[in-house]
Amino acid sequence: MTQRTPSGLFISFEGIDGAGKSTHIAAVADWFRARGRRVTLTREPGGTPLAEKLRELLLHDAMDPLSEALLMFAARRDHVLQVIQPALARGEVLLCDRFTDATFAYQGYGRGFDLQVLGQLEQWVQQQPGQDRLLEPERCFWFDLPPAIAAARLVGARQPDKFEAEAEPFFQRVASGYAARAAQSPQRFARIDASQSLEQVREQVLRHCEQFWGPA
């Protein structure tokens, strides 16, 4: 009897800089691997040679909000075609450090860029061939953290990029953007209280994994 290939699963990890989301991606990858799933780890902006080049521009070069949004979606388009869609077609679990929710939070709410324009770019870049729906994560782990705590965590951690160097009001707006996205799509978002200890945050994340995709 032929074994059925599992369906691909797309999961994103979101939150303001300093929320600690990247720390917990490996734990989720291990959780799925322990259950026999193949896992692809990737990030945005980035994930392909072209997108990584664009990442360097986005994180370090000054530009107006429209240029920033266009470069972000150009990187995403290459990432979708070269990494995300192929991994999902192979039935893998794809774990992505940021995706389009970040663009709405950072460029839309943080920069104040037109949300309708971002929505149009989202349609162009993420429209599924032959389907009346967008490619988007099935589940988004949102690491929710007050910006003041995030800023304290980032002090002295590393040389900040242009986003990390923004003042606290910027991150207040970004945080409100994530909250708005979660309110619009509550079925997609799993809110994680990122103000707790590392161990407590990891427990929250793995508890959600068990709730969504099966007990340990």
Answer yes or no: is 22 a known binding residue.
yes
Question: How many CA atoms does the CB half-sphere of 169 hold within 13 Å?
Answer: 2
Q: What is the number of other CB atoms lying within 10 angstroms of the CB of residue 210?
A: 11
- Euclidean distance between CA atoms 5 and 11, whole angstroms: 18
> For tokens 């360097």, what's the residue?
56
CATH superfamily of 9-213: P-loop containing nucleotide triphosphate hydrolases (3.40.50.300)
Is residue 27 within a helix (H) or strand (E), and if so which, with residue range? helix 21-33
193 known member of a binding site:
no
Strand partners, 13: 97, 141
Tell me if 47 is assigned to a ligand binding site: no
Residue with tokens 């709405």: 104
Residues 97, 25 contacting (CB under 8 angstroms): yes
Helix-strand-coil percent breakdown of the chain, rounded to 5?
Answer: 55, 15, 35
Three-state DSSP class for residue 181: helix
| 84 labeled part of a ligand binding site | no
Domain spans in the chain, listed from the N-terminal domain onward:
9-213
Instruction: Please give the single-letter amino acid code of residue 24.
Output: H
What is the predicted pLDDT for the residue at 4?
A: 52
The region that residue 210 occupies, defined by phi over 0 for left and psi between -120 and 50 for alpha, beta otherwise, is alpha
Is residue 21 part of an annotated ligand binding site? yes
Render each residue's pLDDT in the chain as its tens digit; 216 residues: 444 557 899 999 999 988 888 889 999 999 999 999 999 999 999 999 999 999 999 999 999 999 999 999 999 999 999 999 999 999 999 999 999 999 999 999 999 999 999 999 999 999 887 777 899 999 999 999 998 888 887 776 667 889 988 888 999 999 999 999 999 999 999 999 999 999 999 999 999 999 999 865
Cis status, amide bond into 160, omega within 30 of 0 = no
pTM of the model as a whole? 0.92
Other C-beta atoms closer than 10 Å to the C-beta of 110 total: 24
156 is in an annotated binding site: no
Rounded distance, CA 151 to CA 119, Å? 29
